[in-house]
Structures are given as C-alpha cells and as structure tokens.
A and B are shown apart, each in its own frame.
Chain A
Amino acid sequence: MSVESDNMRGTVSTARSRPAVLRHVPYFIAAAVLVMLAASMQFDGYVLNILLQATTFSIAVFGVSVVLGLCGQINLAQAAFFGLGAYAVGLGTTDLQMSYWLCLVAGCLVAIVAGAFLGMSTLRLGGHYLAMVTISFQQIMTLVMINAIWLTHGPDGVSRIGRPSLFASSQSYLAFCVAALAIVGYIVWHLPDTKLGRAMRAVRDNELAAGVNGIDIFKTKVYAFAICAMLGGLAGGLFAGGFAYVSPDQFSFAESIVFLTMSLLGGVASPIGSVIGTGLLILIPEWLRFLKSVPGLYLAIYGLFVILIIRFMPEGIWGFVTAGFDRWRTKTKAPPAVKPLQLKPATTGGDIVLEVKGLSKHFGGLKAVDSVDIAVRRGGVHALIGPNGSGKTTTLNVLSGLYKATSGTILLDGTDITNMPPHQRTAAGLGRTFQNIRLFRSMTALENVEIGAERSGNTMIGTGGHAALTERAMEALTFVGLGNRANELITSFSYGHQRLIEIARALAANPTLLLLDEPAAGLNSTEKLELHELLKRIAAQGLTILIIDHDMTLVSEAAQHITVLNFGRRIADGESMAVLRHPDVVSAYLGSE
C-alpha cells in the first residue's frame, strides 16, 4: 500500500517541497481521461450497467479496504451501509421530492452516524464480537427494509429514483460516478500517509504498542468504521441513482460478503486492489455464466477461491503484483539525519518524575502487585527488579495503562495519570518498550519511529509536518545506529536490531520518562554491550529511565537506584549497591531455606 509514499519519503528533501497536487498530476490526467472515456465511448446497456455497478461497488469496497486493510477491523455489514445511502437517495428523490445532491449527502451522514454508533458500541471488544455485531446490524437493517413498509416501501423496493438533471443520461451519470471514484480513490490512496492513516496501520499491526505510542485506539477504530460506512453510503447513493431501482435483497448479508471478498481478492490494503477485486468479481460471474447451468457450481468454485486466496495470496492480486516492487523499494537508502538526536524531556515538575503510591493490582484473589511505592528521580536510571512472578511486568503494565490499577495513585511530573488510558499517558510524557518486542510489523523502521515521534505533546517536531516527523524519526534511528536501514521493513531486521528500533520509537517521542521492559532479554553478549552503551548515551542527555531487567550486571552498572519486588510487594528500595547487598533481596533471588 505504502509503495508510493515511501518512494517519496526516500527523496524527501526534493519532492516534499513541491505541492502534492503537482506531484500527482499524472494521476489526475489519467482520471480525467477515464472520465472522458466514460462520457464519450459508446457502450451498450449491458456494458454500461456493468461499468456502473463496478464503479459504485468499488467505492463501497474502498470503505472495506480502509476498515479491514488499513485498520484491521472486520465489517460484515458494508451492504447495509450501502443500502442506507441507496435508500436515502431512493426515498429522498421519489417520496420526498428532494434534490439528489441533498439526498446523497444525507445518505452519507446517516451511514456515518450508523457506522460510528455501531463502532462505538463494540469496537472496545475483540474481532469476533465485531464480526457478530456487524452481522446483527446487517440482519436488522434487512428486516427493517423489508418490514417497515411505511418508510421503505418494503420488499417492492423503490423505483424511478431520480438523478441530477446535469447527469440525466446514463452515459454522463457513469462519467460522474467514475469521477467520484477517482476522487475517493485519491483520498483513500493517500490516507495511509496521514496521521489518522498511520494510526490505523499501527492499530492494525499492534494494538497495545499503538496505545502506548500515543494513539487513541478506540477513536482510531471508530473513525475507520465511520469512514468505511460513509463510503458505503456514498456508493449506495450513486448506485441508486444509476439503477433507478433499489430493493432490500440488494443489500443483504450475502452482498456484504461479496464486498469483503472483492476487497480481499484485489488486495485488502489498496484502492487499486479494491478496483481490481471489484471489477473481477463483477466480471467473472458474467464470463462464467456457462458454469451456472449446474446450480451452485459457480458459487462453490467462488468459495473455494476465497479459501485459496487467503491461503496463497494473503495480500490479494495487487499485493502479489507489488511484492516484487516492494523489495526493490526497501533497497533505497534513506538520507542520514542532519543533526544528532536531542532529548529534551520536560522539566516542569519537581525532583521526582514518577511518584507511585500504594499501587495495587489484583487479579481476582491474586495480588500481583500489592501496595507498592516507587519514586523515580529526575535524570536518573531507576531499576525495578525481582524474581520471576514478582510483579515487575504487571507494575509496568499498570504504569503504562494496559492494566487498570486496583488502588493507589500514579503521578507523572505531578500529573495524576492513574485513570488515564495508555495514549493519554503517552501524551503526558510516558514512553515504553516491551519485553516481547511490539513493532508495527508491516511497516518500515522509519514509519515505526515516525508513529512514535507523532505523539501529541512532542515539542521536538515543531508544527508536526511530515518533513519534521521524518527528520525526527531519522535522528532517532541514527541515534541507535540504524539510520542507513530506515526504509527496510521490520521483518528484515534481527531481533537485537528490532529492540533498538523499539527504543528509537520511544525516544523519538521525546518522553519525560522512559520505561524499558527487560531490554536485554534475548540479546547476545555483543548486543548487550551495545545496549549498555546506548543506555549510557540516553542517560547522558538527562532522560529519566525506569528499567526492568534480570541482567544484574546491566542493572547494577546502569542504575543508580533500585526497587526490588517479591510476591507483588516492595521488599527493598534505595541506592543500587546497598539494595543488592540487602539480605532480603539476596534470599529472594537465591531462595531461603
């Protein structure tokens, strides 16, 4: 998907300066040619109908590609949103005698509201719930379309739907739809490179990491869902005008599955893929009509192909085509950072950056963390250690907001963050890494770090333009020694390097406090040395660090202050050497009789 965008990023300094409209002139020329073709070529009714169907369906499939491809959420009710738009135009232009344009806008609005409401009620839950709720919504919509005869005309459907007088002929209406397709396609094509688009991709790749990198997961999902619904509504409105007749069976669950399959077939993450998938799934049934002499045979083959595509072409046709292109692209070197990374943590609060008081986390009867106090001094490296199962990682998860504290308070730079969701804590100045690395795996190293840099409240990115983001991200990557591989996909990095990228992602956000969750885990001895050096360089810039690790050498050398947990309780706290010699600590680690 991000093919083009990354190329552009590769040549950041030159291309960025030209306005986007200029850079995309070829696209608009091509689109204009298509529109002219649609308006001028002589099609017979059959071809016209097919083109009209393909064009409007493509726009609906764009919606699916946003929600499924970009944000990783399933929507099995796109036909219902499509139907909302279609009925808005259908009923508006016939029963209410309203202007077509007004109806089209109304349809989009109704779809957005429905989509956002549906999303808000369920997007906090996992994927299979969403699948079910969207199916339910789809079924209820179908029932309403059929049974609310006073409103929808019931199963008879709505006929003689109006069109704008400007596009009264089928040919000109088709041209209008193609133009709409081109515009929506342009927007969807560039969506991944916007802040919202990056947030969606981050949510798709790794929800937890997205949250702790300052992305409001819930809001992002709701936006994705609303956009998907809106495109469904728009497409439905265009469809209704084109075919002049709508009825409930055109917007059934089966149609939702068709939209989903179109998106998958072409390539779920790309508008081009959407168009290919839509076109093929409209054309193939037409070409394969001969297969239909045996009822079911065609659909059986169709079902089989869905399985095969998922199995062998997970990125769809377009993804398959562009895979080779992708490999070439990642070879392009990114320009090195101009200046070294600067970490300028906020210094508004007092001497204590993080103050944890009486923090508890209970899972049912299990007291994983029990009234723990921690005070992290500004500019220092503070270690949190303890044997396995002592509650270290739970503490960190409560601190970063992945778990809700059972009791106690957490103050970050004097701000009470105890009840904030992860992204707000990040905005407040918290950064973290994970023991089991959580990077956005479908993105390049640079994109990963850019998402970190983009956190709200980051003072190091100026007004937050893309150039500033890229610059900041390059600085962070260069800082950890991976600047020259910025455009490579995460999957091509070694485990140790992935950990460095995760640290760079946290650093780019310019946090007030950096939480490192077992950064040395899984590293070999050379990598551990490098990590050690890196920590020193970070600390040298005055960034406060709270580190969890098992590696005593690392901890004792890097940290000035240590807090020790055992069975969820704090058993020791103080200056490093003193704590490590503390008898309780020794017995906790070595075991007592």
Chain B
Amino acid sequence: MDLVLQLLFTGIGIGAVYALVALGFVLIFRATNVVNFAQGEFSMVAAYLMVVFAVDLGWPYWLSFLIALAGMALLGMIFNLGVYYPLRHRSYLPVIIATIGASILLANSVLAIYGPQPQVLQGWFETPGIQLGPVYLDSQYLLIIAVTIALVIFNYWFFEHTLLGKKLQATSQDKEMASLLGISVSTMIMITFIYSAVLGGLAGILVAPILFVSIQMGSTIALKAFAATIIGGFGDVAGAIIGGLALGVIETFGAAYISVPYKDGFAFLVLVAFLIFRPQGIFGERVAEKA
C-alpha cells in the first residue's frame, strides 16, 4: 500500500508535467489546427533562460522567473511570425514539418550557445520535500501539481468569463465567423502562440529542478505530452490535463509492475490503443470532416 501511494504521487507529479506541456499543445491546436512539434523546446528554452538569469547572473529567482516568461512571450511571437503565419493558408503537413524544423533549430541553437553539459537549477523551496507517513512528497512536484490545478481554474475562468477568452474561443471554433464579428483573427492567433509559449516555458522552469536543465529535456516530455493530448481528446483543455495525469500514472505503475526499460513504450501503447478503439479521446473531438 505504501508502495502504491508513493507510486501514485510520483505518477501524478510526472503526469502534471505532461499536462502542463499538453495544455500548450491543445491551445495552439484549437486556434490553428496545427500540432506544434516545437512545444517541448519552449520548455527547454525557458529553463535555460532561468539558468542564464538566476544562476549565471545571480539575479533574484522571482525576477529571473518573470524575465524568462517575458522571453517566452517574445519567442512565441517570433515563432508565430516566422513559422506559422507564413504557412497559415497551407495544409497541416507543411506546418508540422516547419515546426519540426523549428524544434531542431531551437534545440541546437541552445546547444551551440550553452554546450551540451546539463545545468542545475534550484527549486523554489529550500526544503526538498516532506515525509508524510510512508510517502515522501517532493516539494517541487507538489508545486507542479498546485500550479496545474491553478492553471485549470485560470483557464476555465479566462476562456469562459473574459471577453478576450471568449474571442479566442470564437476564433478557434470558426475563423470566418470570428472575423465577420470584427475579431482580428491574426491577433487572436498571436495571443494564443504567446500564451502557449509562456505555458510551455512555465512547465520547463517548474520541471528543471527535478530533471536538470538539458537540451533534450523538452523533447522527451513533449512526446509524452502529445500522447496525453490525444488520449484526452485533441482540442480539449480538460482532456489534456486528465490525459497527462493518466499517462504519468500509467507509466509509473507500468514501470513498477511490468518493466522499467519499456517504460517509455507504455505511453505509446496506450496511445495506439486509444487511437484504434477510441480515437475521439476521453472527452471526444469531432473527427468527421465537414463536406
């Protein structure tokens, strides 16, 4: 039982990381119908920005945090203008490939600047964790879970109860209709990219103290997060969260009870099973194309 609880906590913690990155995927997908393969690199870049400001320059953690997020907003903007916007009228295929190109570009630019050695980033808290009965709770994982919950609430409020959120939703549902209503579609898409880059960055900064800061930190998480989005149902915020958590738990228990080396395979097996038996995901996406 102790074992199960410990695994459950870790699974949820890891799952929350996937969920955070998955959220970024979903937002961009809803707004543009495009899968952003560079989402994981957003996390990685943000973590390196933290290393630059908080570690190398020694600035206060909160200040570095704000600067890093601002940097991510800028990156989201550049990404939209450089990668998505010129291709917006083409099919999903060129855009997918361009985002793959962008992910190679980002990862290796950081490699060129910072070198391949992993970096250490301290967490928010001095105490590494607390022992709660038989279960050890890593403070950084606790923080990640808390932030994920907060973001779910924030997203709900933002998309359902603010004008900007509603405009964004309208844009993601029907671009033509939105533009007829006087909503600037390109501005909305820009905001979406900025928001999703910031979210990805947030995930990266939060997870960096656990996984260390390395070039490949983003891509491994992003693949899982991507699987989580599909399991949750593409285009659904709640689905991404549930999918992420489910994946984290499945993976952890699979590793504990079935096989450690094949751990990464479970995510993909679950994914393929979902695609075959329930392609609309847990929450369901309209799969049919309009005639």
**B93, A74: Cβ atoms closer than 8 Å:** yes
Question: Is B226 engaged at the interface, CB distance under 8 Å to the other chain?
Answer: yes
**B101, A133: Cβ atoms closer than 8 Å:** no
What is the CB-to-nearest-CB distance from B258 to chain A, in angstroms, rounded to a whole number?
12
Please indicate the chain B residues that have their CB under 8 angstroms from the CB of A571 in the complex.
none
Closest to B106 in A: A303
Please indicate the chain A residues that have their CB under 8 angstroms from the CB of B291 in the complex.
208, 393, 397, 402-403, 434
Q: Which of B236-279 contact A (CB under 8 A)?
A: 261-262, 264-265, 267-269, 271-272, 275-276, 279
Among B105, B223, B230, B261, the residue within 8 A (CB) of A304 is B105
**A68, B110: Cβ atoms closer than 8 Å:** no
**B268, A136: Cβ atoms closer than 8 Å:** yes
**B87, A122: Cβ atoms closer than 8 Å:** no
**A127-B92, A136-B227, A311-B87 known; A300 and B105 CB under 8 Å?**
yes
Chain B interfacial positions (CB closer than 8 Å to A): 29, 35, 82-83, 86-87, 90-94, 96-98, 100-113, 115-116, 215, 223, 226-227, 230, 234, 261-262, 264-265, 267-269, 271-272, 275-276, 279, 287-289, 291
**A310, B35: Cβ atoms closer than 8 Å:** no
**A132, B90: Cβ atoms closer than 8 Å:** no
**A136-B268, A295-B115, A300-B104 known; A307 and B83 CB under 8 Å?**
yes
A124 to B288, CA, bound (A): 10
What is the CB-to-nearest-CB distance from A33 to chain B, in angstroms, rounded to a whole number?
35
**A133-B272, A147-B262 known; A307 and B93 CB under 8 Å?**
no
Chain A interfacial positions (CB closer than 8 Å to B): 68, 72, 74, 121-122, 124-129, 131-133, 135-137, 139-140, 143, 146-147, 207-208, 257, 260-261, 264, 294-300, 302-307, 310-311, 314, 393, 397, 402-403, 434
Among A139, A295, A303, A311, the residue within 8 A (CB) of B268 is A139
Given A207-B289, A300-B105, A303-B105, 18 more A-B residue pairs with CB atoms under 8 Å apart are A72-B93, A121-B275, A122-B275, A125-B287, A128-B96, A129-B279, A135-B268, A136-B269, A137-B268, A140-B265, A143-B262, A261-B101, A304-B101, A305-B101, A307-B82, A307-B105, A311-B86, A403-B291
**A304-B101, A307-B82, A307-B101 known; A140 and B93 CB under 8 Å?**
no
**A121-B275, A131-B35 known; A311 and B98 CB under 8 Å?**
yes
**A121, B234: Cβ atoms closer than 8 Å:** no
Among A136, A305, A393, the residue within 8 A (CB) of B272 is A136
Please indicate the chain A residues that have their CB under 8 angstroms from the CB of B116 in the complex.
295-296
Please indicate the chain B residues that have their CB under 8 angstroms from the CB of A304 in the complex.
101, 105
**B93, A127: Cβ atoms closer than 8 Å:** yes
Among A124, A147, A303, the residue within 8 A (CB) of B108 is A303
A-B contact pairs, 23 of them (CB 8 A): A125-B287, A126-B289, A128-B35, A132-B35, A132-B227, A132-B271, A132-B275, A133-B271, A135-B268, A139-B264, A139-B268, A140-B268, A143-B261, A147-B261, A147-B262, A264-B97, A295-B112, A297-B108, A299-B104, A299-B107, A300-B112, A310-B97, A397-B291
Please indicate the chain B residues that have their CB under 8 angstroms from the CB of A298 in the complex.
108
What is the CB-to-nearest-CB distance from A583 to chain B, in angstroms, rounded to a whole number?
32
Please indicate the chain A residues that have their CB under 8 angstroms from the CB of B271 in the complex.
132-133, 136
From DSSP, what is the main secondary structure of chain A's interface residues? helix
**A306, B110: Cβ atoms closer than 8 Å:** no
Please indicate the chain B residues that have their CB under 8 angstroms from the CB of A135 in the complex.
223, 226, 268
Query: What 7 A-B pairs are tightest by C-beta distance, nearest first?
Result: A306-B101, A296-B111, A303-B105, A303-B104, A136-B268, A296-B112, A300-B108
**A303, B101: Cβ atoms closer than 8 Å:** yes
Please indicate the chain A residues that have their CB under 8 angstroms from the CB of B101 in the complex.
261, 303-307, 310
What is the CB-to-nearest-CB distance from B30 to chain A, in angstroms, rounded to a whole number?
12
Closest to A127 in B: B92
Please indicate the chain B residues that have their CB under 8 angstroms from the CB of A310 in the complex.
87, 94, 97-98, 101
**A121-B276, A296-B108, A306-B104 known; A314 and B94 CB under 8 Å?**
yes
**B104, A302: Cβ atoms closer than 8 Å:** yes
**A140, B276: Cβ atoms closer than 8 Å:** no
**A122, B276: Cβ atoms closer than 8 Å:** yes
Please indicate the chain B residues that have their CB under 8 angstroms from the CB of A260 in the complex.
97, 100
**B98, A306: Cβ atoms closer than 8 Å:** yes
**B112, A294: Cβ atoms closer than 8 Å:** yes
Please indicate the chain B residues that have their CB under 8 angstroms from the CB of A311 in the complex.
86-87, 98
A295 to B115, CA, bound (A): 7
What is the CB-to-nearest-CB distance from B95 to chain A, in angstroms, rounded to a whole number?
8
What is the CB-to-nearest-CB distance from B41 to chain A, in angstroms, rounded to a whole number?
10
A147 to B260, CA, bound (A): 10
**A307, B96: Cβ atoms closer than 8 Å:** no
Closest to B102 in A: A307
Closest to A76 in B: B100
**B279, A125: Cβ atoms closer than 8 Å:** yes
